Chains A and B, each alone.
Chain A
């Protein structure tokens, strides 16, 4: 049927079975979900992008505080508008799937947490991160003093080379101490 022709990377079974973290079944359901996000007339074209707003209407991402970051990280758009092609969408699902390794997950987690895309988690990134974690409401938000203290504690713990930022190696090092990261860094369609 049409479905298989539309899925760009789905030209053979063997290829699909090798795709990182995604097996064919997941591919089909992913494709279905993706098509639902597209407008009718766009569905024929392969490289159509779904805008970030559309992506964020998905219930899996709707309430996630990192939703915009996720879109931006996985988007290959030149405009940096967070729009996703189907392949980007697959990347997203693959990174958040069961079979993605800790390394892939931590890599993408790092990029998601790196709000200013500068390759390191500096104080601003950490503050953004903590704000995302604690939510936007006033009663859960940390006071500036608490925030300052928290961030310096985090840096104290994880910043090995003492450059004031957390880089990918240090991040992965911290992550490796957390047993439940792999299970929590998941999105199930």
Chain B
């Protein structure tokens, strides 16, 4: 477990910035009231075995007591670095993103299941969409009851969405909460949480 170096921090922040915009500041400087200290600590990012974790101060301090080989995970895993050095966000990041998202999309009940099976969001399944989305922006997908379902990348801008036919892709799927069930082997740690 070690803190991220500059390059890694930029990579992580860039990815999150796509979804949150300036609310990234809220994520980074979030006060955490965990732990026995009276004063609120902060949340920090730690790298362990190519996975980036979003942990509170006090938890990090206590996690240093666990051996490196025996440490499974700490806090929430926001993403992982691939072998080639690229950073991808994982589904556990959803809560963070949903709270601070700039661009949101609401799905109709009929197309919720389709998205949870890792399909892209089609125009026909779109319920609501925030305005001023540019193509390539990060988008958090909600159900009509404001439950965060996952996140993805916008394929078209809001203006273009109006002119599309119902079978065109609006949001490219990146992660959804159905993954918890579909990828039981990979996400063993998540199931335990």
A complexed with B: no
Mark B residues whose CB is within 8 Å of A: none
Mark A residues whose CB is within 8 Å of B: none
